[in-house]
Amino acid sequence: MKNKTSKSFFILFTIMLFFIEIVLSTSYRNIYGYYKSPVILFLSATILGALILYLSIRSSKVQDISHEKLNYKITHATILLSLWLIGFTSSVVISNQCFNTWHIDIYDYTLSDVIPQIGWMVKRFLNGETPYQLITVWTYDLFPTYQTFQWAPYCLAEIFNFDYRWVPFGVLSISLGLFHKIQISSKIGFYYKCIFSILPWLILILFIYSGMQQYANTVESLIAAYYLLFALSLFYSSTFIKASMTIICLLSRYSLILWLPLLCLSLFFKNKASTVRYIVYVISGVLVFYVIPFLYSDPLIFIKGFEYHTLAANNLWNHPYENLQNTIFTGLGLSGFFYDFVDGDILTRLAVLKKAHILLSTGFVILCSVAFFIYREMINNTELYLLGTFKIYLAIFYGFIQLPFHYLFLVPLFVSLICVFKLISNLK
Torsion of CA 199, 203, 204, 206, to 10 degrees: 130
Helix (H, G, I), strand (E, B) or coil at 135: strand
Q: How far apart are CA 403 and CA 287, in angstroms?
A: 30
241-260 pLDDT per residue, tens: 999 999 999 999 899 999 99
Of residues 427 and 351, which shows the higher confidence score? 351
Single pTM value for the model: 0.95
Contact, 409 vs 427, CB < 8 A?
Answer: no
Residue 234: partners with Cβ closer than 8 Å, 6 or more residues away:
242, 263, 383, 386, 387, 390
Listed in order, strand segments (DSSP E) in 162-275 are none
Q: Which amino acid is at 347?
A: L
319-355 pLDDT per residue, tens: 877 778 888 999 999 999 999 999 999 999 999 999 9
Indicate the pLDDT class of residue 62, thresholds 50, 70 and 90. Answer: low
Find the range with the poorest average confidence among 21-25, 144-148, 189-193, 298-302: 298-302
Indicate the pLDDT class of residue 402, thresholds 50, 70 and 90. Answer: very high
Indicate the pLDDT class of residue 184, thresholds 50, 70 and 90. Answer: very high
The pLDDT, as a whole number, for residue 326 is 80
Indicate the pLDDT class of residue 308, thresholds 50, 70 and 90. Answer: confident
- Is the confidence at residue 48, as pLDDT, over 60? yes
The pLDDT, as a whole number, for residue 128 is 95
Indicate the pLDDT class of residue 52, thresholds 50, 70 and 90. Answer: very high
96-121 pLDDT per residue, tens: 999 999 998 888 888 889 999 999 99
CB atoms within 10 A of CB 392: 22
- Is the confidence at residue 78, as pLDDT, over 70? yes
Q: How far apart are CA 428 and CA 423, in angstroms?
A: 9
398-427 mean pLDDT: 95
- Is the confidence at residue 67, as pLDDT, over 60? no
Share of the chain above pLDDT 70, in %: 96
149-167 mean pLDDT: 96
The pLDDT, as a whole number, for residue 394 is 98
- Is the confidence at residue 71, as pLDDT, over 70? no
- Is the confidence at residue 46, as pLDDT, over 80? yes
198-245 pLDDT per residue, tens: 999 999 999 999 999 999 999 999 999 999 999 999 999 999 999 999
